[in-house]
Amino acid sequence: MCTGITADLYSNDTQKQRQVLRQHFSPNASFVSPLLRTSGIKNIGHVFLVWKTLNRDPPTIEKSCSNQHHCVIFMTQHLRPRLFPLLHLALPVIVTLKFRESESGKLKVEHLEEHWTVEGMCICVFIRTCIEYIICLLEYK
């Protein structure tokens, strides 16, 4: 289940992303990465919209481990900015999903956290400023 949620959330298909957020995330879910921190389905959706805009390729999911309330996914983000299509950086990422039972009894994602390696963080330092700028523009519209 969690691999499918993650694959659809990180895909380049906006419809799949919206569906995952509506069906599998609690309304006040939080998202944390080395680049930013936000909460709420709408804001998390904006993060993935910006990510999709900046990158042509979705990540490759390597493996996952899960129990009833937690899921850990090992994947490789493929940073291939649309403005520089010949540039390709592979960023190892560990995604942790924390689930909580909703009032209806269904498990919903309460917290999504990305963990990057030191090497990956060094590669991506310049992206943080760009993402923050774009998110600010989207929030003020």
Whose CA is closest to 58, among 93, 34, 84?
93
Instruction: Please report the pLDDT score of residue 126 as a whole number.
Output: 63
Query: What global pTM score does this model have?
Result: 0.80
Confidence of residue 133 (pLDDT cuts 50, 70, 90): confident
Average pLDDT over residues 112-125: 78
Domain architecture of the chain: domains with CATH: 2-139 (3.10.450.50)
CB 57 within 8 A of CB 50: no
Instruction: Please report the pLDDT score of residue 97 as a whole number.
Output: 96
* Residues 8-51: tens digit of each pLDDT: 999 989 999 999 999 999 999 999 998 899 999 999 999 998 88
CB 117 within 8 A of CB 84: no
